[in-house]
């Protein structure tokens, strides 16, 4: 058995085993630990095996395997219809979308109208990088999930303990993601694509509360719109292009295949929560935190940008590609701005996820080798650092009972290890030499040569990100006369995921030039990001990166709590000062959220409308030109 087959099929084994471990924490722990180690070994083994190779096909001539996928489509469609059984009649259009899209694909399959092919699996360095993200980041989150869900139910007795189903869904998701990134048949990709949507529903609806169910169904119907577009792309490719071989489509003349490629890109941007579809990702934050870290930040939404990156050769130097890049840029700007006005940590992370995915889409829409190299770095660094931030917030929530950033005051001193980990995670999102900043600088450099409208978008959006990340970091390290509350610190197996992702954040920065030379340069050619002189800069910046955590550790036991100096105008009453007109005013230590300019009420509707106009414009222009 080769690594590709192992990585696709093996996760089904722990997924099934975990279904039989209800309320058996020890069994869950060992199944997850052993399975995660094997998946990580498989992902690294595949990456090592791929060094020096540019890519190749896996030929599967047997119709049996393809028939299994067809049967899988039937099962997934039936499961979707089953979960829709409780919906009121006024929402009949949700199961109707299931019937339409699956009806089209299955009719073509069973009627023999799908073009014949035997190149079902394609492996190249892009698939290898995605496999590493899924395997290493995903498995660290899986290990974290076991301990998190145990404590989750200790704090939420009102919610039935179905953690075995939740963790089993994690491994079902690994099966779907590996199948998706290794598949070359767009019908196979569609099958795995819809399983990720199903996994998302299971996790979002976990608590079975009214809010959770409403948000889960909102995610379903929004993602089914993308699934319908995917199905239309399949039918168009089969009818007009006479192939469902993705690599063959990408090698065809642009004018012949641009329409089905745009349908696939629409599905990808829908899955990546680009506007106007950002709402499903925000609603998904009601799910237990590992869901946010795994599906809605580090891996499932990356399936969307992965598909757009796959299609980028067709988008390059086209008006459609420029509009896709503009939609990504709009999502980057809007997500960054909306994150400023949020106090809830998971909402900040959700909006910043939409923003960073938008930046990747922008790069893919431009489609030059330089922008694609930067996009891949963004995928790697964002997956690691954002997953770390989500699971950190989950542990803080378990300890404090709050996801409010204002309740994280002085966390570096009352939960110092957790505070250090969060500092590393936040630094990974915007500080040098962490990869997100390196990647954004590369994007600006690459875009400056293409279109003058895009560099200001990246610069301004990056400045907005700097604002909300720095104020969050500042609150973690803040010290006034108010002593931070000591919180319950019972964190067990979760430390493996927390420290593992923290270390991976640093390691990925140190070794990113080698990642580039081994797997990115062979695809897209030489890039200044991976030049020989960059190692010294990384070494110097690595020292700067390690100093803040070391300082926190050294000073933690000798911190002096004192009232802030208010220019000598303190009055006798504690917590007050003299204002400019001589009146006593209360001082407080809190963040600015600038709701007047950056609230959802101010920005969200305008962003959705603008993105809808851009999508309509793109399809209208394409029809006129063709």
Domain boundary among 270, 288, 315: 315
Q: Which of 74, 70, 102, 118 is nearest to 235 (CA)?
A: 102
Among the candidates 315, 330, 352, a domain finishes at 315
Residues 108-131 have pLDDT tens digits of 988 888 888 888 889 999 999 999
Q: Give yes or no: residues 287 and 417 share one domain.
A: no
How is residue 304 written in tokens? 């969307």
Residue 572 falls inside a structural domain: no
Q: Give dist(CA 504, CA 568) in Å, integer.
A: 47
528 and 442 fall within a common domain:
yes
Q: Would 585 be classed as within a structural domain?
A: no
Give the pTM.
Answer: 0.92
Q: Are residues 329 and 192 in the same domain?
A: no
Asked if the structure places residue 225 within a domain, the reply is yes
Distance CA 592, CA 587 (A): 14
Report which DSSP code applies to 11: T
- Residue 112 shares a structural domain with residue 132: yes
Is-contact 155 402, C-beta < 8 A? no
What would the two tokens of residue 147 be? 């301990």
Total domain count, the chain: 2
Q: Is residue 360 located within the same domain as residue 265?
A: no
308 plus 339 within the same structural domain: no
Write out the H or E segment, with its range, that includes residue 144. Answer: helix 138-155
Contacts of 623 (CB under 8 A, 6+ apart): none
pLDDT at residue 591 in the model: 80
Is position 159 within any domain?
yes
Same domain? For 147 and 172 the reply is yes
Residue 586 resides in a domain: no
Greatest Cα pair distance in the chain: 86
> Could you tell me if 44 and 144 lie in one domain?
yes
Are 310 and 217 found together in one domain?
Answer: yes
Whether residues 300 and 446 share a domain: the answer is: no
Q: Which of 300, 315, 330 is the last residue of a domain?
A: 315
Q: Which residues in the chain show pLDDT less than 50?
A: 432-434
Is position 577 within any domain? no
Query: Residues 419, 311: one domain?
Result: no
Q: CA–CA distance from 532 to each of 468, 516, 527 (Å)?
A: 34, 12, 11
The answer to whether residue 567 is domain-embedded is: no
Output the pLDDT for position 4: 92
Residue 581 within any structural domain of the chain: no
Instruction: Assess whether 304 and 382 both reside in one domain.
Output: no
Domain region containing 427: 319-368+376-562+593-626
């Amino acid at each position: 058995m080769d690594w590709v087959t192992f990585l696709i099929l093996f996760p089904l084994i722990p997924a099934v085993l975990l279904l039989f471990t209800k309320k058996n924490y020890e069994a869950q722990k060992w199944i997850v630990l052993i399975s995660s180690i094997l998946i990580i070994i498989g992902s690294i083994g595949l990456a090592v095996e791929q060094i020096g190779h540019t890519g190749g096909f896996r030929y599967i001539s047997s119709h049996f395997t393809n028939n299994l996928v067809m049967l899988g489509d039937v099962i997934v469609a039936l499961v979707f219809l089953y979960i829709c059984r409780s919906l009121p009649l006024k929402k009949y259009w949700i199961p109707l979308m299931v019937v339409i899209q699956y009806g089209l694909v299955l009719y073509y399959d069973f009627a023999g109208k799908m073009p014949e092919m035997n190149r079902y699996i394609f492996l190249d360095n892009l698939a290898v990088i995605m496999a590493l993200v899924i395997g290493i980041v995903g498995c660290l989150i899986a290990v974290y999930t076991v301990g998190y869900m145990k404590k989750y139910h200790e704090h939420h007795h009102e919610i039935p303990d179905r953690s075995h189903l939740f963790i089993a869904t994690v491994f079902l998701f690994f099966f779907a993601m590996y199948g998706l990134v290794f598949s070359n048949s767009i019908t196979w990709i569609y099958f795995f694509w819809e399983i990720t949507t199903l996994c998302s529903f299971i996790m979002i609806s976990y608590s079975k509360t009214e809010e959770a169910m409403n948000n889960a169904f909102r995610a379903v119907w929004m993602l089914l719109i993308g699934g319908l577009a995917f199905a239309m792309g399949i039918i168009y490719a089969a009818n007009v292009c006479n192939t469902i071989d993705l690599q063959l489509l990408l090698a065809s003349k642009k004018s012949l295949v641009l329409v089905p490629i745009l349908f696939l890109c629409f599905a990808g941007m829908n899955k990546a929560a680009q506007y106007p579809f950002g709402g499903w990702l925000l609603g998904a934050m009601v799910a237990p935190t590992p869901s946010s870290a795994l599906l809605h930040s580090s891996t499932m939404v990356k399936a969307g940008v992965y598909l757009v990156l796959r299609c980028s050769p067709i988008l390059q130097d086209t008006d459609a590609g420029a509009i896709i890049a503009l939609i990504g840029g709009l999502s980057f700007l809007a997500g960054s701005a909306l994150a400023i006005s949020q106090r809830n940590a998971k909402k900040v992370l959700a909006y910043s996820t939409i923003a960073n995915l938008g930046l990747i889409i922008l790069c893919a829409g431009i489609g030059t080798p330089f922008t694609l190299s930067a996009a891949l770095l963004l995928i790697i660094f964002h997956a690691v650092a954002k997953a770390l931030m989500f699971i950190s917030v989950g542990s803080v929530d378990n300890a404090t009972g709050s996801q409010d950033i204002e309740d994280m005051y002085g966390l570096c001193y009352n939960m110092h290890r957790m505070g250090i980990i969060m500092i590393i995670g936040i630094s990974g999102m915007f500080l040098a030499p962490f990869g997100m900043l390196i990647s954004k600088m590369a994007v600006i450099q690459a875009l400056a040569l293409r279109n003058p409208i895009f560099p200001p978008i990246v610069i301004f959006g990056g400045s907005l990100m700097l604002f909300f990340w720095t104020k969050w970091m500042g609150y973690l390290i803040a010290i006034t006369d108010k002593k931070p509350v000591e919180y319950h610190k019972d964190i067990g197996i979760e430390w493996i995921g927390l420290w593992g992702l923290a270390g991976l954040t640093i390691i990925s920065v140190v070794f990113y030039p080698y990642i580039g030379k081994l797997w990115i340069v062979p695809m897209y050619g030489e890039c200044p990001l991976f030049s020989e002189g960059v190692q010294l800069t990384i070494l110097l910046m690595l020292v700067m990166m390690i100093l803040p955590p070391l300082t926190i550790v050294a000073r933690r036991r000798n911190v002096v709590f004192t009232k802030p100096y208010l220019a000598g105008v303190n009055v006798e009453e504690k917590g007050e000062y003299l204002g400019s007109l001589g009146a006593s005013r209360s001082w407080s230590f809190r963040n600015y959220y600038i709701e007047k300019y950056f609230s959802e009420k101010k920005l969200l509707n305008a962003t959705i409308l603008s993105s809808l106009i851009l999508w309509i414009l793109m399809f209208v222009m394409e029809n006129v030109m063709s």
